[in-house]
Amino acid sequence: MRLVWQWIQLEQALPPNWTEIRVALTVPAADRDRAAALLGGANPLRRSDQLRLFVSRRGGFGPEAFRRALLRLDRQGIGGRLELEHVTEAEPEVAPEARALAAQWDAMTANLPPDWSDMLAEVALRSSDQLERAALLVSPTNPLRVDDSLVLRFRVARRFGYGVAAGMMRRSLERLDEEQIPGALRILRVLADTDPVGTQGPVWRVGGRSV
């Protein structure tokens, strides 16, 4: 079987999230030097009667470049056997709502401006059976339930003003994690570099209500 067809079959059998593979190409001794020259762009490593190559989806020598290189060998009448030696798979992506709530908080606040001061955030719970317990665990944040939904809304004040302190907000989320109450954290509004004069901080209007 032509080398390019061997690669097509091998590639189809790879896991969908593969990122890098190492393959071994065995060619007759008489064709080895010529094959290595034609595969020069792949930087093949010689070992015994094999040429070893690395193919990566993340840059460098990719699968399409490898296909073209094997096609050059086929056109030159160089046959051989292609084998998969190792495959590296990407770590599965974790949906944000599948992560611990404290971890969601850390990830979201890490992307905020360093001088952020006020925030409106909410946690959407998954089960109504956990609503009362969750509200009790996060009671220091003075949560507001949104209508009849499973959403608890909070105001956070990082430096001063109306709202729970950022550290207490994170600790409250940790309490939910400790009791394995899952949810999805969302930041609805955030302000930076505020300087309230004679007030407790900004007021947002959401759904016709002041919050």
Q: Which pLDDT score is estimated for 39?
A: 87
Last residue of a domain, one of 56, 89, 122: 89
- What are the pLDDT digits (tens) for 120-147? 999 999 889 999 999 999 999 999 998 8
Using the predicted structure, report yes or no on whether residue 198 has a pLDDT greater than 70: no
Query: How high is the mean pLDDT of the chain?
Result: 86
CA angle, 40 then 81 then 11, to 5° = 80
- What are the pLDDT digits (tens) for 31-83? 988 998 888 878 888 887 789 999 998 877 889 999 999 999 999 999 999 99
Are residue 42 and residue 72 in the same domain, yes or no?
yes
Question: CATH code at 138?
Answer: 3.30.70
> Against a cut of 0.85, is the pTM above it?
no
Instruction: Examine residue 210 and state whether it is found in any structural domain, yes or no.
Output: no
Strand pairing category for 116-125 and 50-56: unpaired
Q: How many domains does the chain have?
A: 2
Closest Cα partner for 185 from 117, 130, 126, 115? 126
Domain ranges, residue 113: 96-193
CA angle, 24 then 25 then 30, to 5° = 140
Instruction: Examine residue 117 and state whether it is found in any structural domain, yes or no.
Output: yes
User: How far, in Å, CA of 58 to CA of 186, rounded?
Assistant: 31
Are residue 185 and residue 121 in the same domain, yes or no?
yes
Are residue 63 and residue 100 in the same domain, yes or no?
no
> Looking at beta carbons, which pairs linking 32-38 to residues 24 or more positions away fall under 8 Å?
34/76, 34/78, 35/73, 35/78, 35/80, 38/69, 38/72, 38/73, 38/76, 38/78
CA distances from 72 to 108, 171, 211 (A): 49, 61, 67
Are residue 109 and residue 80 in the same domain, yes or no?
no
CB 118 within 8 A of CB 201: yes
Are residue 42 and residue 114 in the same domain, yes or no?
no
Q: Which pLDDT score is estimated for 200?
A: 60
For the chain, how big is the Rg over CA atoms in Å?
29
Q: Which pLDDT score is estimated for 208?
A: 62
Who's near 74: CB < 8 A, 6+ residues apart? 2, 3, 4
Tokens 């919050």 sit at which residue? 211
User: How far, in Å, CA of 181 to CA of 69, rounded?
Assistant: 53
